[in-house]
Amino acid sequence: MSPFEKRQYSGKQIIKAGDMLRDVNELTPEEREWALGVLDNFRALHAMPLNTFQATLRQRIARLGISDFIVAQRIKRKPTILDKLYRYADMQLKRMHDIGGIRAILPSLKELEALRKQYVESSGRLSHRLVRVDDYISQPKDSGYRGVHLVFSYHTTHPDKQDYEGLRIEMQLRTRLQHIWATAVEIFEAFMGENFKSSRGSQDWLDFFALVASAFAYKEKQAVVPAHAGMSQEELLRRLQEKMESLQVLKVMQSFTLTDTLSSTHKRTKGHALLIFDAEEKLSTVRHYTPAEYEEAYSAYIRAEEENRNRQRCQVVLVKMDSIQQLEKAYPNYFANIRLFRTHLLQVLKGSR
């Protein structure tokens, strides 16, 4: 077990660090170093519970007979954690439920509902406590985001694993189409220097993403964004077409290309990948680490975050991977892969099902 995964700070210290980090620029260098050190250690603790949930998730998917799926896991990016602390005054770092995130991308709603049902109906028999279920499919967010989130509290009686007791893990269940929408939003915000995921930025673009989400919801025969509830499908598609033309969306997407993708090696498969996506330089860098190199991977992750902390259009994330091919499918936003979004967008405009 990596030293990074041993708990080094008490619950009160974690809460204090989170409160200090609400405005990290106001801290002295010493305060900042201490508070970020607490965050780094607390965040790293989530790696072990994530591995546990990933193994169980794969087993449950296999029992359902689903073969065409993607499972991915990551610990939350530091800028995203800091932004969340800044925006929500009552948010405690210790209680943040999505620092450890695992995602299942499934072919359709049929498989998603079967998996969700398996988790929810067996919650009383699970070792870990199901804290909450957020259904953003039957009730999409105003932004257009759709998916199902299951939040668990990790529980163990093993004496050597008490450092992880009570840590929260968020499991995201998405269909392939929902995943295509969500990662496309991230590509747009990276290249445009906006924060669309948090519903901030140009209202015209936020309206565009919401309209696309509702169009995709029609394709999956599910609820549309609340603002579009009284709108016919024909009216929705007309407004989407008008918005696309006014924003020149297809022309904008043509600029979402990379000049290069650098990889430390193409031979390694399972392990961790450090992804650095620089939208300004149009460069994606992938550094691979074997399972035995986790400590080195996490140290490199911390260094890369610090080196790029003032660069808004540069994103850094550490993920667990099965293969290069699965990595790009799970995180197309870090490879500026907008092709599938464009394809489905044009299909819905033609009335395709």
DSSP 44-109: HTTHHHHHHHHHHHHHHHHHTT--S-EEEEEEPPHHHHHHHHHH-TT--GGG-TTSEEEEEEESSH
Position 127, amino acid: S
pLDDT for residue 253: 96
pLDDT for residue 309: 85
**N- to C-terminal Cα separation, the chain:** 49
Spell out, as residue ranges, where the chain has pLDDT lower than 50. 1, 3, 352-353
Integer Cα distance of 135 and 173 in angstroms: 10
For the chain, give every domain's residue range. Answer: 3-177, 181-254+340-349, 260-335
**Angle at Cα 25 formed by Cα 24 and Cα 27, nearest 5°?**
70
Which whole-number Å values give the CA distances from 310 to 55, 86, 179, 300, 307, in the listed order? 36, 16, 28, 17, 8
Q: What is the pLDDT of residues 133-161, one digit of tens each?
A: 999 999 999 999 999 999 999 998 888 88
Show the tokens assigned to 234.
């024909």
Helices (H), the chain: 11-20, 29-44, 47-63, 78-87, 109-121, 176-192, 203-219, 233-247, 249-254, 294-307, 324-330, 339-349
pLDDT for residue 2: 54
Q: Which residues contact 137 (CB under 8 A, 6 or more apart)?
A: 109, 112, 146, 147, 148, 178, 222, 223
105 contacts 179 by C-beta, under 8 angstroms: yes
pLDDT for residue 56: 92
Chain position carrying tokens 């499908």: 233
Integer Cα distance of 288 and 318 in angstroms: 10
Nearest to 128 by CA among 57, 33, 61: 57
Chosen CATH of 3-177 out of 3.30.460.20, 3.30.460.10, 3.50.30.60, 3.90.1640.10? 3.30.460.10
Tell me the residue length of the chain: 353
The secondary structure element, H or E, covering residue 283 is strand 283-289
Show the tokens assigned to 149.
């989130």
Is 292 buried (19+), middle (13-18) or exposed (0-12) by CB count in 10 A?
exposed
pLDDT for residue 352: 44
pLDDT for residue 269: 67
Which whole-number Å values give the CA distances from 273 to 67, 124, 181, in the listed order? 24, 35, 23
Report pTM.
Answer: 0.91
